[in-house]
Structure formats: structure tokens, C-alpha cells
């Protein structure tokens, strides 16, 4: 009998591809969504904001993958937007923990997303899962990630195998950062951002999904892991490699940090913070990256571009 996986955030960038690969691997997939009928997968209804969840969803699942959360890169970070980003992660995770605590289920593992933003701006220092989270009150992304992980640990406290996955910059042409970076490069208006020296810890979407599936499959995966390629690069190197793969020159000077702050406000920390994050723990656990190097990852998307 095939294993059943319940995904929150299943219509997002990661969830969409993950569901496809899970089906290919022989799993059954269902989604938790505020709208039923929005997907060709079986969908159970939930509304974390109003603390409601179809109890049949938890009874269905052998595994739960929790990806739900409002995008951090859509629109300026007003106070209202920041509240939405935080609550969309905490409300859903806590609701799942509350339902799982009732005990009427056969859930074997709970995978919950987090983000490498938890490390804050760490310059060129290599950080790993043992590095303490960044705690200044003005570091919004670190604060969100920390609280999100605390909510996931409520599930772990129930004795369910729990894996927290700190996800880096996900590379895909279907969404996320890459299309936004590729657009100006294609128009020959690409440029490094800020000093260009800030590190970007990235992962190819397919590697991320394969990693999540391996975490489900193998019971030795437990605890916190960074989901990043083994080869982070600076923003300058990323921009140059992207231009090279797309056969475009880089003619413009760097975009200064003050200009990004003017355009994006506080959200500019997404592109200006430096995060050089280690993949050693997932490598030691036996995961093999299909795209360990940036050039190969970008060529998988843009190799035919002229």
C-alpha cells in the first residue's frame, strides 16, 4: 500500500514540484488548503487563521510536510505584511501540533520548513546547524524563522520524528529569486547588488525536493538540517555566472545598497544580508546533490538561451 503524504503550502513553488516527484516515487499526495478544488490532488480544507482543520486530513497522513507561509518577497514589508508573513507560518504549524496532540493518527514523520534567514547577516563566516540563531529584535527574518522552528518543536514534543529544514535561496524558473535576477541580465541590465561580496546560499529546486523525500524515506533523518548546496557563492559571482550562462555581458556598475534600501525598504535585507551556510550535515547523512555547483544548476534552466 502506498504511503500517504499531506502537504501544506502544496500549491507554492516548492510544494508543486515536490508533489510531482512524490507521485513519481510512488507516494499518494493530498494537500491542506484554504480552497478545495484549486488542485488536481485530493484537498482537505483548513483555515489556520480561524483555527479550523478537517480532522480527516490528519487521519489520512503517514507523513506531513509543512511548507505553508506567505512569501517574504511579495511587496514591501509594512507592519501588516510582516504580521501576515509571521502569522501564516505560526498559525498553521501550531494548528497541526494541536491536532496531532489529539493522538488519533498514524503520522510517522513531520517535516517543517524554516529558512537560513535564522542565521542573520553572518558575513563570510561559515555557519552550520550548531550556530546559534541571530537574535537582535530588528532582524525580522531571523525572528520569523526562530518562532517558526519553535512551533515545529511542539510536534517533536509529541514523540513524532520531526525534521526542521532551513531552506536557502531556491533556484527555479517558476518563481522565487531567480527569474527576478535573470530578467535584468537578459535585458543586459544585470548588476551585482550592494557590495556584491555578500554570500548567497542556494539550492536547485529539484535537489531540495529530492532531499525532502529522502528525509521522509529514511528514519535516521531527525532534527535540524540546512537545505543548501555545498558551494555558496558571492552575489558578484552569482551575477557573473548567470550572465555567462545566459550569454549576456555585464555592463552596469553595482547597484548601491542605499538605492536598494530606497526601492525595497527593510525587505532589502533579503538581497543584502550575507549567508554562507554549510551543507556538511546533509552530505554526511548520505544525500547526494545533482547540482552541487552554481553553473550546472543555472545551465539546467538557461543552457538553451541565446
Q: Where are the domains of the chain?
A: 4-170+203-228+278-289
Q: In this predicted structure, what is the pLDDT of residue 304?
A: 65
Q: In this predicted structure, what is the pLDDT of residue 239?
A: 94
At 282-305, the pLDDT tens digits run 999 999 999 999 999 999 999 765
Q: What is the mean pLDDT of each run of 10 residues along the chain (306 residues)?
A: 92 94 96 80 93 94 95 85 94 96 94 96 95 83 94 97 97 90 87 92 98 96 98 95 93 83 82 94 98 97 72
Q: In this predicted structure, what is the pLDDT of residue 196?
A: 92
Q: In this predicted structure, what is the pLDDT of residue 97?
A: 97
Q: In this predicted structure, what is the pLDDT of residue 94?
A: 96
Helix, strand, coil percent values for the chain (each to nearest 5)? 40, 20, 40
Cβ-count burial 259-296 (b if 16+ within 10 Å, e if not): ebeeebeebbbbbbbbbbbbbeebeebebebebbebee
Q: In this predicted structure, what is the pLDDT of residue 38?
A: 62
Strand ranges for the chain from DSSP E: 4-8, 28-33, 42-47, 52-53, 63-66, 109-115, 126-127, 161-167, 169-171, 199-200, 202-204, 223-227, 233-234, 276-277
Q: In this predicted structure, what is the pLDDT of residue 40?
A: 83
At 189-219, the pLDDT tens digits run 888 888 999 999 999 999 999 999 999 999 9
The CATH topology of domain 4-170+203-228+278-289 is Rossmann fold (3.40.50)
Q: Is 188 left (phi over 0), alpha (psi -120 to 50) or beta?
A: left
pTM, 2 dp: 0.95
Contacts of 39 (CB under 8 A, 6+ apart): 10, 11, 31, 33
Amino acid at each position: 500500500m502506498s504511503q500517504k503524504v499531506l502537504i501544506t503550502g502544496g500549491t507554492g513553488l516548492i510544494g508543486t514540484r515536490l508533489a510531482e516527484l512524490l507521485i513519481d516515487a510512488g507516494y499518494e499526495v493530498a494537500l491542506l488548503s484554504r480552497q478545495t478544488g484549486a488542485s488536481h490532488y485530493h484537498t482537505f480544507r483548513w483555515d489556520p487563521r480561524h483555527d479550523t482543520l478537517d480532522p480527516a486530513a490528519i487521519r489520512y497522513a503517514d507523513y506531513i510536510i509543512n511548507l505553508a507561509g506567505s512569501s517574504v518577497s511579495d511587496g514591501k514589508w509594512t507592519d501588516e505584511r510582516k504580521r501576515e508573513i509571521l502569522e501564516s507560518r505560526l498559525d498553521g504549524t501550531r494548528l497541526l501540533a494541536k491536532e496531532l496532540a489529539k493522538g488519533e493518527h498514524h503520522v510517522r514523520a513531520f517535516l517543517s520548513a524554516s529558512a537560513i534567514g535564522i542565521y542573520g547577516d553572518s558575513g563570510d563566516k561559515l555557519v552550520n546547524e550548531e550556530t546559534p540563531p541571530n537574535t537582535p529584535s530588528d532582524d525580522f527574518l531571523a525572528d520569523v524563522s526562530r518562532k517558526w522552528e519553535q512551533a515545529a518543536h511542539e510536534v517533536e514534543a509529541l514523540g513524532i520524528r520531526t525534521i526542521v529544514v532551513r531552506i536557502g535561496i531556491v533556484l527555479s524558473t517558476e518563481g522565487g529569486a531567480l527569474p527576478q535576477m535573470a530578467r535584468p541580465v537578459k535585458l543586459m541590465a544585470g548588476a551585482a547588488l550592494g557590495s556584491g561580496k555578500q554570500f548567497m546560499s542556494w539550492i536547485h529546486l529539484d535537489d531540495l525536493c529530492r532531499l525532502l523525500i529522502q528525509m521522509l524515506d529514511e528514519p535516521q533523518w531527525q532534527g535540524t538540517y540546512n537545505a543548501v548546496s555545498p558551494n555558496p557563492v558571492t552575489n558578484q559571482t552569482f551575477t557573473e555566472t548567470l550572465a555567462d550562462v545566459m550569454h549576456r555581458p555585464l555592463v552596469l556598475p553595482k547597484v548601491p545598497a542605499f538605492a536598494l534600501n530606497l526601492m525595497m525598504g527593510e525587505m532589502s535585507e533579503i538581497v543584502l544580508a550575507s549567508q554562507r551556510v554549510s551543507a556538511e550535515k546533509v552530505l554526511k547523512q548520505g544525500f547526494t546533490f545533482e547540482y552541487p555547483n552554481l553553473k550546472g544548476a543555472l545551465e539546467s534552466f538557461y543552457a538553451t538561451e541565446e
